Structure 1
Amino acid sequence: MAADHDLVPIASPELSATISPLGAELQSLKDAEGRDLLWNGDPTFWGSRAPILFPIVGSVQSDEYRVDGTIYKLPRHGFARRRTFEIVAREAHSATFRLESDDETWAVYPFDFRLDIEFAITGARLDIAARLTNPSERPLSASFGYHPAFRWPLPYGAPRAAHAIRFEHEEPEPIRQLNAAGQIEAAPRDNPLEGRTLALRDSLFEADALVFEGLKSRRVVYGAPGAPVLEVDFPRMPDLGIWTKPGAPFVCIEPWQGHSDLVDYRGEFRDKPGVVTLVPGETRVFAIAVTLRAAEPADFA
């Protein structure tokens, strides 16, 4: 993590945040009274807070993938979270960070790219927009994901066991299971939702993350009845991971475009489910918004 003096603060009267140029990673998110909504990165449980996942989400087979028959190596979730982004815009309520392809990225990812991560706070809402641009004359293939870890429990007095995640729509399809190597098993896992609600409990995460593919929902609400909640919107992200380490005081709500390899996948990277391809000059936007608001009766009905 960057030193505190390197963090970029943005704020409104209702919400404040800091972002590190290292990985363009959100480091804190606080309400008007200074209560922490984001996990603090304690390495006892997990040393990250909200990493940016690019150019892969999850793991590829043995950390290897293929582009036009050539094998390249990438660690889990890619390299963006370990690279220092340039600060290209900075205001009291917003900031933009940029990462561009260079010799280091070309060695492991043979594409030209420009990735801008824009953070903006308006009232009690934090918007994050990742703008991926293909500046070259050949197609660009990539996945992208967000990985924010929120306090569990949130700092509003409700017990940990009362917290749940409520989906915008019912999502009855079976979900996916990760194996010990981080790949997705062929056999699906029973869906733990009750209607639209995922009641949070540690036993859900004994094997790893819950992976929801091809969602109808583009919004979830996280919190406990009778207390302020976080609404997480992800309008263009079709997949969602939910994860914690059993017993840890955080839960990750992770909108994704793409996911880990299936256990038997050996094809080209561009053909992998969830990978998008940008034509020359194209920009693709991957956005989420986190809004702090009062709970409504429908949130946990």
Structure 2
Amino acid sequence: MSRIRIGAGRVTAEIDEQGAELCSLRYGTEGQPGATELLWQAERAWPWHAPLLFPVIGRMNGDRLRHDGTYYAMPKHGFARDRRFTVARHDATTAVLALRDDAASRRLFPFPFRLTVGYAVEGSRLTVSYSVHNPGPGTLPASLGVHPGFRWPLPGATDKRGHTVLFERPEPAPVRRVEDVLLLPERHPTPVRGRTLRLDGALFTDGAVILEALNSSSLIYSAPGSPRMTLSWHGFQQLALWSPPEADLLCLEPWYGLPSPIGSDGEYAASPGQFHLAAGRSRTFGFGVEVSPAR
């Protein structure tokens, strides 16, 4: 495993070249032993930190993708998280990593693509940019998601009680659920009350909670006595929240795209929520985390 470290000021980050995955986000005085880790550290309950989901989110039915009558094996959440990215640039506060299609990727995904991930740290903020480019010649259908796992309880909190997610705007729309990471057809009343979601492990008994019709482009994840984390995003359309049973982590996941509907076996390009890029076009997305002192 090869990690890149960036940081200045109050926040430092480490990125693994495997999957361009953020694997550490520490808050405190740089280089001091009191710096606090905010990211889940890939323990047994969930062996990831913050995987990048591309070109699918969730699963395809039968773990296979259909294109022009041909089936291709497609792992859960796509293959980008399992591929080694090339480091295009790296200095004290920034890192840019890139992945392009090759013979191995085309056995899973028969489309040319270029995927670039850029990390930057300034003060108490980490900013991540994502660019998907279609070199052509045909249309590129794809989904992209960010899947960071944060500590729950947060550092400084005695237990999981009292943690909240405060959305930028009210979120009254019904939510979706999954079964075996496939999208169920039913819609359920939102657990968000106005702008506030009070976190409880029972929320995730039936798996992830997916805000399909998302109003907000930011949220605050916090608890009394703990650092406040302000997450913001652009270019994404959905947000999923998830925690594995009995695990001390909370995933807050901006998505563009949805898992395959359960029972569906249609053309990949008709999957719900995808973006479609014409030849020569690109699409950009952004995700940021700003950390504030405990109140």
**Normalised TM-score (structure 1):** 0.93
Asked whether 1:39 is paired with 2:71, we answer no
Please say if 1:113 is aligned against 2:109: no
Query: Are the aligned partners of 1:158 and 1:227 in contact in 2 as well (CA < 8 Å)?
Result: no
Equivalent residue for 1:17, pick from 13, 17, 37: 13
Which segment is superposed worse, 245-254 or 264-273? 264-273
The answer to whether the 8 A contact 2:39-2:150 is kept is yes
Amino acid at match of 1:104: A
1:1-301 alignment, distance < 5 Å: 2=1, 6-32=2-28, 33-43=34-44, 45-157=45-157, 159-179=159-179, 181-225=180-224, 227-294=226-293
Contact 1:13 1:123 in 2 (8 A): yes
Contact preservation (8 Å) 1:203, 1:246 = no
Any conservation in 2 of the 1:145–1:256 contact (CA below 8 Å)?
A: yes
Deviation at 1:267, TM superposition (A): 2.5
- Separation (CA, whole Å) in 2 of partners of 1:140 and 1:12: 37
Deviations 1:151-178 (A, max 9, x none): 1111133532111111111111111111
Which AA in structure 1 matches 2:60? V
**CA deviations over 1:159-214 (Å, ceiling 9, x no partner):** 321111111111111111111x2211111123111221111111111111111112
AA at the equivalent of 1:131: S
Q: In the aligned structure 2, how far is the partner of 1:67 from the partner of 1:289? A: 34
Q: Percent identity?
A: 36
Q: For 1:240-293, what per-residue CA distance to the aligned partner results, in whole angstroms no more than 9, with x for missing partners?
A: 110011221110000000010112433222222211111111111121001102
Contact residue 11 and residue 27 of structure 2 kept, 8 A: yes
Q: Deviations over 1:203-226 (max 9, x none)?
A: 111111111112111111101145
Q: Is the 8 A contact 1:228 1:293 kept in 2?
A: yes
Specify the code of the residue in structure 2 equivalent to 1:216. Answer: N
Hey, what's the Cα distance between the residues in 2 that align with 1:222 and 1:27?
A: 19
Separation of aligned partners in 1, 2:114 and 2:173: 36
**SS at 2:259's partner residue?**
coil
Does the 8 A contact of 1:94 with 1:120 survive in 2?
yes
Q: Does the residue aligned with 1:217 lie in a helix, a strand or coil?
A: coil
Cα contact 1:269–1:275 (8 A) shared by 2: no
Partner residue in 2 for 1:299: none
Q: Which moved more, 1:212-221 or 1:140-149?
A: 212-221
In structure 2, the gaps of 5 or more residues are: 29-33
Measure the CA separation in 2 of the matches of 1:243 and 1:121: 26
How many Å separate the matches in 1 of 2:153 and 2:5? 24
2:31 maps to none
TM-score normalised per structure 2: 0.95
Aligned residues: 290
